Amino acid sequence: MDKKQLHRELQFKAMRSSGAGGQHVNKVSSKVELTFNISESEGLSDREKGRIFLKLQSRLTNDGTLVLQCDEARSQHRNKDLVVKRFFDILKNALVVPKKRKPTKPTKSSKEKRLKSKKITAEKKAARKKPDLGK
């Protein structure tokens, strides 16, 4: 993953934020939308692209574009920084390969502990029964 190349491939669009805010929000385009086409990217290897498509499948458009928006801050520049940071965090998390699980057997002490707790529970339930007065 070449961060500088990816940063060059990002496309930004500024738009007006929604919601309350008075006159300022109606005349200033502070919301930033980031678009990134994964399939046409030169900063990612084919293996990385495949992994990203697999992990971010629900967040991608039909043509394989990732779209992120940010309107948290009142400044367009701050929103741009926030959305770029969020983009790289998402990519980094998508590229993490989980460790393969090694199956293990329960230890002797854990087996004994389980059996002991089962026995205690069984004794509790047996104590709740009505006594057999010997017919």
Q: How does pLDDT run across 35-76, given as a tens digit for each residue?
A: 999 888 888 888 988 998 888 888 888 888 889 998 888 888
**Whole-angstrom distance, CA of residue 98 vs CA of residue 95:** 9
Q: Is residue 99 part of a domain?
A: no
Q: Is residue 113 part of a domain?
A: no
Q: Is residue 104 part of a domain?
A: no
How many Cβ atoms sit within 10 Å of the Cβ of residue 15? 13
Amino acid of residue 63: D
Comparing CA positions, the residue from 84, 81, 96 lying closest to residue 35 is 84
**Whole-angstrom distance, CA of residue 67 vs CA of residue 63:** 11
Domain that holds residue 71: 3-94
For 70-127, what is each residue's pLDDT tens digit?
Answer: 888 888 899 999 999 999 999 999 988 889 999 999 999 999 999 999 999 999 999 9
**Whole-angstrom distance, CA of residue 35 vs CA of residue 73:** 19
Q: What is the CATH number of the domain that holds 50?
A: 3.30.160.20
**pTM > 0.75: yes or no:** no
Q: Is residue 107 part of a domain?
A: no
Q: Is residue 120 part of a domain?
A: no
Q: Is residue 114 part of a domain?
A: no
Number of structural domains (the chain) is 1
